[in-house]
Amino acid sequence: GSLKSTGFELEFQYKLKNQNYLNIGYTNIKDNNYVTDINLSKYSLNSLKHHFTSKINLNYIRNVNHSFVFKYAERSDRSNYSIFDSKIIYKKGLFIYVNNILDEVYSETNLVPMPGRSFLVGISVGID
């Protein structure tokens, strides 16, 4: 058989004061001929139908950058999830990153569960 996918993608950035900004994005994909009544295999197509992202980047004080990210995804089989992430960067080097703050149970692709809440602390170094 054949599959035809159509869709669109939008992205918007609004610059706020003091190097703060808000990003909003949306992607829509429609798979024609998506089969729902049989299970072809564990690798059968289950693409994103709706994908909404938003990010707000805030600079509270000098040398501190804080971002919040929200993602919502709905797949062709109607399964969906929402994820919140947060990252704080100090002086463009030291960072703290919290992924999946609400500890949502979800899968990015068929049968591959993603980890729950995770924390990452590190130092980012640039070499010129």
pLDDT of residue 39: 55
pLDDT of residue 108: 78
CA–CA dist 66, 97 (Å, integer) = 10
Q: Are 89 and 121 in contact (CB under 8 A)?
A: no
pLDDT of residue 32: 75
Which residues neighbour 115 within 8 Å (Cβ) at sequence distance 6 or greater? Answer: 99, 100
pLDDT of residue 60: 80
pLDDT of residue 4: 78
Report which residue type is found at 7.
G
- Would you report the helix, strand and coil content of the chain in percent, each value rounded to 5? 0, 60, 40
Give Cα separations from 114 to 99, 108, 111 (angstroms).
11, 7, 10
Report which residue type is found at 96.
I
pLDDT of residue 28: 94
CA–CA dist 82, 125 (Å, integer) = 31
Give Cα separations from 105 to 23, 65, 80, 125 (angstroms).
25, 28, 10, 33
Per-residue pLDDT of the chain (128 residues; tens, 9 = 90+): 567 788 999 999 999 988 899 999 999 998 776 555 555 555 456 678 899 999 999 998 888 999 999 999 998 778 899 999 999 999 878 999 999 999 999 887 766 888 999 999 999 888 87
